[in-house]
C-alpha cells in the first residue's frame, strides 16, 4: 500500500520527508530499540516508534524502511526532521499510542 493511502486512512500527520511519500509499505515493524530495528526490520516496512532521535532516520535508511510513524503526538528533534528530508524518508505523526496505531495499521494492511 502507498504511504499516501495509509496517511489518509489512518489520519496521519506528515511531519517531514515529503519526497518519500510515494514509497510502498510492505508491512510494519514496531520497536523502540534501534538495535532491534537494525537486526529485525525488513525492507519496505513502516516502522512505528516513540523514539525521535536523529538516529531513527539513519536506521530507516539503512534498512530501507518505507516510513516512520511517531506515536503519542511526539515531535521529532530538528536534526531528525532535517535528515528525514535529505534521506527522503517520511516521518509521520499520530496522537494515538503504539497499541492503537499498530492495530489500525495491521487491519488496514491485512485487507490488501
Partner 1 sequence: MSPANIISEAARKELDIIGITDHNTTRQCNLISRLAEEKGIFVMQGAEVTTKEEVHCLTFFENNDTLRTFQEFLDENLPDFPNNPLIFGHQVQVDEDEIIIYEEKKLLVNAISKTIKEVEVFVHSLNGLFIPAHIDRRKNSIYSQLGFLPENMKADALEVSRATTPEQFSASHPEIIKYPLLRSSDAHYPEHIGTAFTVWHINEPTFTEIRLALRGINGRKVVTG
The binding site for partner 1 (CB under 8 A) comprises: 33-35, 37-38, 51-55, 58-59, 77
Q: How far apart are CA 107 and CA 86, in angstroms?
A: 31
Q: Which is nearer to partner 1, 4 or 54 (CB)?
A: 54
In the sheet that holds 67-70, the strands lie side by side as: 13-16, 91-93, 67-70, 45-49, 27-30
Q: How far apart are CA 28 and CA 47, in angstroms?
A: 6
Considering the complex, what minimum distance in angstroms separates the CB of residue 32 from partner 1? 8
Considering the complex, what minimum distance in angstroms separates the CB of residue 39 from partner 1? 9
DSSP of 14-54? EEE-GGGTT-B--EEEE-S-HHHHHHH--TTEEEEES--ST
Task: Report how far apart the first and last C-alpha atoms of the chain are (Å, whole number).
Answer: 7
Q: Which is nearer to partner 1, 59 or 105 (CB)?
A: 59
Q: Which is nearer to partner 1, 5 or 77 (CB)?
A: 77
Considering the complex, what minimum distance in angstroms separates the CB of residue 109 from partner 1? 25
Q: Which is nearer to partner 1, 51 or 102 (CB)?
A: 51
Considering the complex, what minimum distance in angstroms separates the CB of residue 55 from partner 1? 4
Amino acid at each position: 500500500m502507498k504511504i499516501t493511502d495509509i496517511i489518509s486512512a489512518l489520519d496521519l500527520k506528515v511531519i517531514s520527508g515529503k519526497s518519500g511519500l510515494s514509497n510502498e509499505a510492505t508491512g510494519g515493524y514496531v520497536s523502540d530499540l534501534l538495535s532491534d530495528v537494525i537486526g529485525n526490520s525488513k525492507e519496505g516496512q513502516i516502522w512505528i516508534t516513540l523514539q525521535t532521535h536523529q538516529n531513527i532516520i539513519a536506521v530507516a535508511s539503512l534498512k530501507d524502511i518505507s516510513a516512520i510513524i511517531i506515536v503519542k503526538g511526539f515531535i521529532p528533534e530538528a536534526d531528525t526532521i532535517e535528515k528525514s528530508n535529505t534521506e527522503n524518508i517520511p516521518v509521520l505523526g499520530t496522537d494515538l499510542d503504539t497499541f492503537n496505531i499498530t492495530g489500525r495499521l495491521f487491519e488496514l494492511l491485512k485487507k490488501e
